[in-house]
Amino acid sequence: MRHFVSFYCAGWLIVQTGAVLAAPVLVKDALGRTVRLENIPQRIVPIFSSNTELVAALGLVDRIVGIEAFTRFPPEVLGKPLIGGRLGFSVDTIVKQSPDLVVVTPARQAMHQVLEPMSRLNIPVIVLQSRSVHEVIENLRLLGRATGTEARAEPLARLYEARLQHVQARHNRRARPRAILITGRLGNGMVLIARSDTYTGDALRLAGADHALEQTVVPQISPEALIATDPDVLLYAGPAKHFEELLASPGWSLLRAVRDRRTYLVDRSEFLIPGPRTIDGIEKLSLLLAAQNR
């Protein structure tokens, strides 16, 4: 049985279609909101790459009807309508895609731009946060319940948890190096690093490293402060050319990690996009750290 709902907004005729559920599905999102889904969502707009990757992991690429401009994975979503980017998100463009579910993250004001307008139009919005790798896996479960794909979400979530447990068993038997993960550079000479209280910091910890700057509360530090910390391992999430240029800058040769050749590239998509691929990144980094400890 199919259910159709139509209404007008900003000149657009919106038609929502979806399989009627025997009873509404209620899920609680990151804001503590109870989101009510009358139908199994068939037209999903996941805002931000992380949410797109979670929806795609559930086998729902065909249900994605809009993405943001910086989404690059999986390749099957490229060419989908763009609903926004760095300058903001267009409510009219989102509504034009006739979504029956919007998934958003409170970054770049996206949540504030779309939550209230979508609520007025009775379009369900789920807000996700990714403050830890565990929360990312739980987001997968939540989306599984919301989209009627629990049968896929639960085994996948358990697989990710089992893979992380295997990593833990490996590095529990060895010393943990002090590491710093650089995520970018600023024009004033400062560098951006992964803070320990973030999703990326959690991934670094799960891979078997301790944070050399555990108490850092801001993501940018001076090269002098980093050199003074003298981590055992220096990681860089970005192009090799940029890392080489950084290490060739004055003072960086003072680092033991540089002298001992314990400087490594990690994949930005695996450590800066909170999605399933991060499990791959954690496994790779764990193996790399284990090898350099021999």
Is 44 within the bounds of a domain?
yes
pTM for the whole thing? Answer: 0.88
232 closest CA partner among 208, 255, 251, 205: 255
Same domain, 18 and 113: yes
Determine the pLDDT at residue 20. 55
Kindly list the distances between the CA atom of residue 27 and the CA atoms of 16, 143, 264, in Å, as whole numbers in the listed order. 20, 9, 40
**Residue 186 CB partners (closer than 8 Å, separation 6+):** 192, 220
Residue 8 has a pLDDT of: 34
Residue 30 falls inside a structural domain: yes
Question: Of 139, 75, 59, 154, whose CA–CA distance to 103 is shortest?
Answer: 139
77 and 22 share one domain: yes
Q: Enumerate residue ranges in the chain where pLDDT < 50.
A: 1-18
Q: How many domains does the chain have?
A: 2
Identify the domain containing residue 252 by its residue range. Answer: 175-292
Q: Within this chain, do residues 185 and 286 fall inside the same structural domain, yes or no?
A: yes
Domain boundary among 111, 128, 158: 158
| 165 within some domain | no
Do residues 198 and 78 both lie within one domain? no
Q: What 3-state class would DSSP assign to 211?
A: strand
- Which pLDDT does position 281 carry in this prediction? 97
pLDDT at 18: 47
Of 124, 158, 192, the last residue of a domain is: 158
CA distance 45 to 67: 6
Looking at the structure, tell me whether residues 182 and 270 fall in a common domain: yes
**Statement to judge: residues 85 and 188 lie in one domain:** no
The predicted pLDDT at position 107 comes to 79
Residues 189 and 149 in one domain: no
Q: Any idea what the CATH number is for the domain that residue 76 is in?
A: 3.40.50.1980
Is the domain of 101 the same as that of 193? no
pLDDT of residue 171: 76
User: What residues contact 269, with CB distance under 8 A and at least 6 apart?
Assistant: 72, 73, 277
123 and 225 housed in the same domain: no
Looking at 88-149, list the stretches that DSSP marks H as alpha helix, in order from N- to C-terminal side. 91-96, 110-120, 133-147
Phi, psi of 178 (to 5 degrees): -85, 125
Residue 169 included in any domain: no
Q: According to the model, what pLDDT value does residue 110 have?
A: 80
3-23 core/surface letters (b: 16 or more CB in 10 A; e: else): eeeeeeeeeeebebebeeeee
Same structural domain, 16 and 98: yes
